[in-house]
Amino acid sequence: MAVAHVRLMILALLFAAAVSVIVGRLVLLALFAEPAAATSVNAMLVPLRGDLVDRNGAPLARTIDAWSIGVRPDKVIGDKSELARLLAATLPGKSATDYAKLLNSDSRFTYLQRRAVPELVAAVHALGEPGIEFAREPQRLYPQANLGAHVLGYLDFDGKGVTGMELALNRQLTDPAMRGKPVALSIDLRAQAALESELGAAMTSFTAKGAAGIILDVASGEVVAMASLPTFNPNNIKGSNPEHFRNNMTQSVYELGSTFKPLTMAFAIESGVASSMAKRYDATAPLQVGGFRIRDDHAQKRWLNIPETLVHSSNIATARIADELGKDRMESMFRKLGFDTRPDIELGGKAAPLWPKYWARTTVMTTAYGHGIAVTPLHLASAYAAMVNGGVWRPATLRRIEPGKAPQGRRVVSEATSARMRQLLRLVVTHGTGSKADAPGYRVGGKTGTAEVPGAGGYKRNQNVSTFAAAFPMDAPRYVVLVMLDSPVGNAQTHGFSTAGWTAAPVVNRVIMRTGAMLGVVPDETRDVDVADVTPLLWKAEPKNKAKGAAAATPIVAPGADE
């Protein structure tokens, strides 16, 4: 009896313990558990990876829920060869034999199509095969396809950034706390489209191997547009040529030729070597230094002063100026412009410049006109920005900078030197080799550069890199525009010339005409930088584009004006 009681007691205690455990758990859940629904409503709106937008908020990259179609070969119940035939008909891209091979393989799951449009999903669904599965998966979509592909980059299969800003911003874009807010890049989509379209047109018409261009804000270092052609479609990485992934603006170095001359000139003015604009240098005959012979492409065979040296793009006079500047000053100025380090920008895989190992006298002379030193076009664009913006170098950036929050930068040349450079660069366009870049009303200034491509056994005479580095408007510079064509071939329109003045300069002209107003520069033919103090120094030089204002000044009688 007593034993039975004890047993009953133990049983009752066990039941009591079980009930109290359940009640305790319920209390815990009621008090402390997070309601499941509350987070999911917010989570619905937060994309798995943050958006990328341009400086005006237009989307550049978005994560969307896309349909994907996959197949489990072991679960297919119908006739596999028949299914393969039907698949080949609905999903072109692979042949029926390919599909048959895929269906008979022993893989457990294979994608048939990722990022399928709903119509396609419906069509495949109509095949009625239970082995085919449909799912909605988050996928990265670049609405503008090829546009700005090198800036944006792309993702790998797991959704991690591989190149471009997708890689640079990977952490921020995937951080749960920050991915809800789109990241604004400095790119202006409209300017980017115009730049790419013009570069593409030029590349076709000059059958160039490649083309690259950039529009850079001189005051903040923001890259408003950056393009490198040929390009790729980040929506379809598998179908792209891997060679086109190279961004020639930051990943390739070039000897940029005469576009370096204004830099040398600025160094000379800054250091006091070019004490006066009228100081003249002997360019009567080619210059022999050691085993090296420096000659001019547009030989003037006379003494040239500072503006003339630039306007006629004289290698000889520039080399003489550099010789007077000397090794130390040239080297330190190039270092100040960051030409000895990789370019400053968020992108990965940046190329290291080819910096001379030893600065011989010839090195000093040749680097002055852009030979014997190779930098990325971005280096040059940043340097030009510093030349014209009042003398302050700032790193280039692809992140949007709020107005007034531009980095401090470092002073490279003085305000006065910068003012002088604006005059000189404008003169090159009005009176010199850059006349074809003179977009009416935009007061363009810049310099041509045609450098031969180095290859095995010296420079290749028939291939060149044509560059035009420009800034506008020269009376108060806002943007640097740099255009580079790789190995252009002259055509009938250029009378067979493939030099920068004929190939790259017109591209700059059209890019500025199409984007200038969008970027907030009002074209005005009545304004210009005052060059009155330097024009008298140009001997026998007439403005190339006399059209400016001439036609407007001619009295034109409107029909019926005095009726």
Q: Give the active site residues.
A: 258
Contacts (Cβ under 8 Å, ≥6 apart) of 275: none
Give me 391's structure tokens.
């003398």
Among residues 114, 137, 140, 173, the alpha carbon closest in space to that of 60 is found at: 140
Map the footprint of other proteins across residues 211-250, applying CB under 8 A: none
Binding part of the chain for other proteins, among 141-149, 330-338, 370-378, 408-416 by CB under 8 A, reads 141-149
* Phi, psi (degrees; rounded to nearest 5) at 451: -115, 140
Does the footprint of other proteins cover residue 546 (CB under 8 A)?
yes
For residue 107, the SS3 value is coil
Q: How far is the CB of 438 from other proteins (least distance, A)?
A: 6
Name the residue with tokens 């409107």.
Answer: 558
Q: Which is nearer to other proteins, 341 or 545 (CB)?
A: 545
Q: How far is the CB of 55 from other proteins (least distance, A)?
A: 15
Q: Which is nearer to other proteins, 282 or 525 (CB)?
A: 525
Burial class (CB within 10 angstroms; exposed 0-12, middle 13-18, buried 19+) of 320: buried
Q: Which is nearer to other proteins, 314 or 466 (CB)?
A: 466
Give me 290's structure tokens.
């050691």
Map the footprint of other proteins across residues 405-444, applying CB under 8 A: 435-436, 438, 440-441
Binding part of the chain for other proteins, among 21-29, 85-93, 138-146, 242-250 by CB under 8 A, reads 138-146
What are the C-alpha distances in Å from 481 to residues 121, 253, 408? Answer: 45, 18, 22
Does the footprint of other proteins cover residue 135 (CB under 8 A)?
no
Q: Which is nearer to other proteins, 206 or 260 (CB)?
A: 206
Among residues 112, 17, 117, 29, the alpha carbon closest in space to that of 65 is found at: 117
Distance CA 483, CA 380 (A): 11
Determine contact, residues 67/114, Cβ cutoff 8 Å. no
Does the footprint of other proteins cover residue 559 (CB under 8 A)?
yes
Residues 54-83 vs other proteins: string with x where CB under 8 A?
A: ----xx--x-xx------------------
For residue 199, the SS3 value is helix
Distance CA 102, CA 112 (A): 10
Percent of the chain as helix, strand, coil, to the nearest 5: 40, 20, 40
Does the footprint of other proteins cover residue 557 (CB under 8 A)?
yes
Does the footprint of other proteins cover residue 552 (CB under 8 A)?
yes
Give me 320's structure tokens.
């003489």
Does the footprint of other proteins cover residue 91 (CB under 8 A)?
no
β-strand 132-141 against 445-455: which pairing, if any?
unpaired
Q: How far is the CB of 460 from other proteins (least distance, A)?
A: 27
Does the footprint of other proteins cover residue 122 (CB under 8 A)?
no
Pick the binder of other proteins from 3, 31, 532, 551 (CB under 8 A). Answer: 551
Residues 337-356 vs other proteins: string with x where CB under 8 A?
A: --------------------
Pick the binder of other proteins from 91, 162, 193, 406 (CB under 8 A). Answer: 193
Among residues 505, 503, 432, 429, the alpha carbon closest in space to that of 463 is found at: 503
Give me 397's structure tokens.
């950036």
Q: How far is the CB of 110 from other proteins (least distance, A)?
A: 27
Beta strands in 194-260 (DSSP E): 210-217, 223-229
β-strand 52-53 against 183-184: which pairing, if any?
parallel
Map the footprint of other proteins across residues 291-310, applying CB under 8 A: none
Is there a cis peptide before residue 230, judged by omega within 30 degrees of 0? yes
Does the footprint of other proteins cover residue 493 (CB under 8 A)?
yes
Q: How far is the CB of 86 from other proteins (least distance, A)?
A: 28
Pick the binder of other proteins from 80, 85, 115, 190 (CB under 8 A). Answer: 190
Residues that bind other proteins (CB under 8 A): 37, 41-42, 44-45, 58-59, 62, 64-65, 141, 143-147, 189-190, 193, 197-198, 201, 205, 435-436, 438, 440-441, 493, 506, 509-510, 513-514, 517, 522-525, 545-547, 550-552, 554, 556-560
